[in-house]
Structure 1
Amino acid sequence: MVRTDFNSSARLIQRFLRLQSRGVSLKTTMETLEFHERGNMKEKVHHMRMLLESGTELSQVFSVIVTNKQMQEMLHTADQSGRFIDGLSQVVQVLEMRQRGKNELKRLIRYPLLIFFILLLLGMIYALYIFPKLMGMVDLSSHSGVATVLLSRWFFPILFCTFFTVGVILYGLHRRGTELPFYIWKRGKTLYMTYLFVSELSLLQKTETNIRQIISRLSDEEGEMAELAKRIHQRMSDGKSIEDATKSEPFIDYEVVSLLGVGAMSGELGELMSLHRELVFEEMEQYIRSLIEKVEPALYGVLSMMIAVLFYTLYLPVKLIMAQL
């Protein structure tokens, strides 16, 4: 999978939407975007223009810069329902939200992580060059447990190598474009899945007449949302109501379950889903901010523990030497 810069992709999509809102043709839009881009993005836009001129669906064209599978599914649904611009607008909102969260997280963890690895490095130097001289004056045969582990000359080197290896592996996965989880806890996954589900329902509402047809249409697609819709459709075919069929899904928010029943009865499902989609998006933003706010004190808590361990290992040999005098 090609690694995509969320910021560059979002900026390109915004320009595309702005030109389309002014009535510029698709061909002229892609030519204009290609003319103004540079480097890697210029090559991607050129590839997109070639795909468009060959008659490829718009959802496939934009999969060049939108590599997230769930976002690709949303674009495909929007394209099939004739509302590609609406779907693309939702995708760019998610990309921008992810980029804001990513930038804020980087800002918070950059210096704490740097301090953390400096402390590990200092501990390793201390363990390899100072410990041996101090240990020559200490009898460790009478000691066991945590003290023995902390006084081992390989404690800090092994700890440093472990963290360094994990960091290299994560960075390598990131460079290869491997999608790391967008959510961390169950609530985050519930909000994300609910947003995708509600978005696709709102995109299909104008092409189908009732909720059963909408779910059936969505189940005919491919991807994670299609599999979810198939399960709901099967339960509805078994005689369950739309509320009961949706309630069985563990990652669909309970508010959507109630709104589906109301929308199916009133015939205003599309409007309700569109409104709720905005509410879920706002809640996702708040959830991400709350996670980021928890990261900073957690990092400083780890740093505090690391400093305490380091100073204790500095003090422990001196304490043992004084006890033997």
Structure 2
Amino acid sequence: MMNLVHWRLIVAVADAGAISRAAERVGMTQSGASQAIAQMEKTLGAKLFTRSRGGISVTAFGEPVVGHARYMLASLEAIHGLADEQEGLGSGRIRLGSFPSVISNQLPLLLTTFRQRHPGIEVVALEGTDEEVETWLASGAIDLGVVLNPTPDRQALILGRDAWVVLTPTSHPLARRASTQGVDFAEIATQPFIHATGGCSVNGQSLARDAGWELTDIQVTVRDWASACALVREGMGIAIVPESVLPADRKGLRALPLAPSIDRRFGLVAPSTLATNRPLNTFWQHVAKATKQQ
């Protein structure tokens, strides 16, 4: 049986040219998406896509099917828009600030599903450091902001959490220890270090300072987590990174837990006007439901 997720999936595959990226957009695993496409093709009795080394291409049969799916989904968005108008929501614009890793990993599916349900409300995602996001929130430049480790006194929805890990090349002496054996700051304080920030004030150096240590041999400072992982793989040093940003291909890399372990949480923070701003409150409830924090 085919449902809206299936139709959204085939449109996403046609747009992305790859099942993996399409699966992320609709909130499925790659294997689940592949199985869903195979089932649709079996039900329809013809191939929707052809697969090659260059990616995924839409077949001659698939072209009009994807076109009808686009029309159907657009019509559904229009119906949702009418429903919003009936409820007095109408249109609106929400400015949301966040640091890069959340914009690329946690927000896309939330924003896509919200737009499908409330097409009249536009959500504009602005990328900045966590310090910039805090400044924007304080000045009212943004309506919502994603911050690291929100304090209990703030109205926040936790979007995710992960542990900080020590990343080493496989040639490093630390890489020979058991994966469950943690690494403390005393062992790495004087090691050649790749200082990766991810656009956040909470990073390897700040964590070391909080623990009473200073990382003294910084080889290079980078903002991008992927760049840090690449430099570690090349043997330029070790790094402290969030577990969630580790690459899928870890050849040449070894990730070990910090001892004691340190987690980071990233939460969506709301202003005091949340209750009186209907579009804002609608988006907040959407995120709460998606993250099961109602």
- Give TM-score scaled by structure 1 length: 0.26
